[in-house]
A and B are shown apart, each in its own frame.
Chain A
Amino acid sequence: MTDSTPTATPERPAELPAQSPPVDPAATSAAAKSPGHHGAAPATGRLSFWRGDSGEGARRNLGLIGVLVVLVVIGIATRPDLYGNSSWVWDNILTILKLASVVGVVTVGMTFVIIGGGIDLSVGAIVALAGVWATTLATQSYGAGGMIFTALAVGLGVGLVNGLLVSYGKLVPFIATLAMMVAARGLAAEISDKQTQVSGNSVINGIASTSPLGIPLLVYILAAVVIAGWVLLNRTTFGRRTVAVGGNPEAARLAGINVRRHTVLLYALSGLCCGIAAIMLTAQANSAQAAMANLYELDAIAAAIIGGTLLSGGRGTIVGSLLGVIIFSTITNLFAINGLSTEAQNMVKGGIIVAAVLIQQFQFRSFTQFLGRNRLTTT
């Protein structure tokens, strides 16, 4: 360990407007005209939106928005009859966002865990357990408040157990949360006696069917969680510590961060997000059962990864993860409106994950560097 400072370099979104594209052409031509005059350091400083490290997250997100645009164009090309109707289009946007809302909330928690250097395979199981626990007849007798409290408390509790196992029990996150995935689904099946538990609470069911100001409540919840997650990651010491712990736990420890406690908090946060998601999913389906939220862990991890979160930790953005979730739900929507089968949809999803990661690795790192190098040598 010769490096005394932690190597974590979180991006600074506040600087992005100042480095917006209009500055770019001049900077590029300046660099092209006088190669080697100023040296590399000031040039990369000015070019940073397209080439530097600090703009990388924003560039990735632009790439994701590009993918989204392509998906919408495919939709318009395949179903012009539907896309011709503007009220249907608005309705469809809301439908896609509603579809994204539950996985989106789970993904926010997952993003924190992955940035912090861990992984949480138990999220789907926690959603199912929290949902089932909140819809038992005994819980339902306490009304909507009791159900919401139960879901949040169960999610938080299971997340805490995950965190304690990982940080103090020194289990590998993969193993600890894999064990929790199996155990939590088992407990959910035990509690529900393997039956579908119908929610008879009109307040809970109403969460999915009310739309204040024409926008579904589920979308507001997603927005609130995403904004809270963004602030927590980018504007608080908690967020800075998360990036530091994920980037280099040893350096973070030497810098005075209580890495163990922080890890516990990260898994608890993920659990809490699952609790929120459990309420949303229960409201959507008017019921809960042990098999619900099937494979949400994979959806959430995939969304975080294509959103640019580094699986080894230390880097990632909430906005990128959100875009990842929205891309997946747009694909689902695209296949539904075209009446194509789920099998084809799953194959495309798998392809998109690989393609997104390949494009990010290839285009934004090597390709721009390659271009830049070429331009410098030709002049």
Chain B
Amino acid sequence: MTQHSRDLSRRRLLFGGAALGAGALLTACTSNEAAPTAAQTKVAEAAAGGNSTPGKQVTIGFSAPAADHGWIAAITNNAKAQAGAYSDVKFTSVEAGADAAAQRAALSTLVAQKPDVIVLLPHDGKELNAFGLEAMKAGIPVVNLDRAFPDARAYRLQIKGDNYGMGVAAATFIAEQLKAKGVSAPVIGEIAGMDELELTQERSKGFADTLASYGLKVANRRAARFTADSGQQEATGLLQALPKIDAIWNHDDDQGIGVLAAVNQANRKEFFMVGGAGSKKAMEDIQADNTVLKATVTYSPSMASSAISLARLIGQGKGMSDLVELQVPKEIVLASETITKENASNYLKLGF
């Protein structure tokens, strides 16, 4: 009997030890060092007498949705890094929570701290329009990042990407390539992002409109969810539906990891693919030229860095030094550029 209980306790000890060891090993496994990508979009201008000369101290309040996607994470990181590059900027950031209501609450605590300028990526431009109006009325200039307010009085500056333009750029590249190859009646597939978002609709519209101008159309369109696993799933469906494809446009490079995986798993290489957004991985793939990914159209999170720079100028009452105007303009729309093997090296520093 004592023998028996000793056996049991030894077993318990072994199990306990194994569990502890596994636990220790696992916690050691959460580290993600060796990924110092924080300063990817710092554009500190060196020119003396330009916009970068230190001026009046400016406090910039920043709010963006909690990131669940590489692009949003890059927005927050870029804003922080850019603010850190200026000696005269104080950066206060509030977590915007999970939805527009949470962001509104977070923003009201931000306003109470009386920042000089607020830079804000709203969950939804329409839902936070009222906040923009309120802050502007209270004398705090608002810089809207990427998701437009419907009311022009709700912002001092709006800086955003061009979703429609992305579709245009992707379709133009695809159509020109197909024309150069002399493909008649090409089969074109599209893997969109989250279909309930307006930006996805705009991208698809730009794509379809431009293709139509070349007399082409999309043969099959699947909507994924901006995640790699959903991209893999939808791409598998697309490949299954179209036994022969000439070109694919995938809206988002993060989900593109999954799309490329699906292409490899299906052993298909008769077509070429264009990505979207411009992640570092996509640019490296394009440069290496060993996958079906031949180009990507940008929607760069570097706009967050630019937004901070411009917010600083607004706070100091300066204009952009290269322009004649004495103040910062009211609206800036980034052009969607096409990154190919030839120019990928120039853009690599903007990849996220």
B and A form one assembly: yes
Residue numbers of A with Cβ under 8 A of B are: 82, 85, 88, 91-92, 95, 98-99, 133-134, 136-139, 142, 146, 150, 153-154, 157, 189, 191-198, 205, 208-209, 281, 284-294, 332-333, 335-339, 341-343
Residue numbers of B with Cβ under 8 A of A are: 22-23, 26, 28-35, 67-70, 72-73, 195, 219-223, 225-234, 236-238, 240-241, 243, 254, 257-258, 260-262, 264-265, 281
CA distance A134 to B25 in the complex (A): 12
Name the CB-closest residue of B to A332.
Answer: B237
CA distance A137 to B34 in the complex (A): 8
5 pairs of A and B residues whose beta carbons are closest in the complex: A336-B237, A285-B228, A286-B261, A194-B67, A139-B29
Cβ-defined contact, A137 with B222, below 8 A:
no
In the complex, which residues of chain A have a beta carbon less than 8 angstroms from the beta carbon of B241? Answer: 82, 336-339
CA distance A287 to B279 in the complex (A): 14
Cβ-defined contact, A284 with B26, below 8 A:
no
Given contacts A142-B29, A195-B73, A286-B228, could you give 18 more A-B pairs where the C-beta distance is less than 8 Å? Answer: A133-B26, A133-B29, A136-B29, A137-B33, A146-B29, A150-B26, A153-B26, A157-B26, A189-B68, A191-B32, A193-B32, A284-B265, A285-B231, A287-B228, A289-B227, A333-B237, A333-B240, A343-B195
How many A-B contacts at CB < 8 Å in the complex? 141
- Interchain residue pairs with CB less than 8 A apart (30): A82-B243, A98-B236, A99-B236, A133-B30, A136-B29, A137-B31, A137-B32, A137-B34, A189-B67, A192-B32, A194-B67, A194-B69, A196-B227, A197-B32, A209-B265, A281-B229, A284-B265, A285-B232, A285-B257, A285-B258, A285-B261, A286-B257, A287-B257, A289-B228, A294-B227, A333-B240, A336-B241, A337-B237, A339-B220, A339-B221
Cβ-defined contact, B257 with A198, below 8 A:
yes
Cβ-defined contact, B258 with A284, below 8 A:
yes
CA distance A338 to B240 in the complex (A): 10
CA distance A133 to B28 in the complex (A): 10
Name the CB-closest residue of A to B234.
Answer: A336
A81 to chain B minimum Cβ distance, whole angstroms, is: 9
Cβ-defined contact, B228 with A294, below 8 A:
no
CA distance A138 to B34 in the complex (A): 9
B96 to chain A minimum Cβ distance, whole angstroms, is: 13
Contact check: which of B22, B73, B195, B236 meets A193 at CB < 8 Å? B73
In the complex, which residues of chain B have a beta carbon less than 8 angstroms from the beta carbon of A336? Answer: 220, 222, 234, 237-238, 240-241
Cβ-defined contact, A286 with B258, below 8 A:
yes
Cβ-defined contact, A138 with B28, below 8 A:
yes
B352 to chain A minimum Cβ distance, whole angstroms, is: 9
Cβ-defined contact, A290 with B68, below 8 A:
yes
A136/B228 contact (C-beta < 8 A), A95-B240, A195-B73 known: no
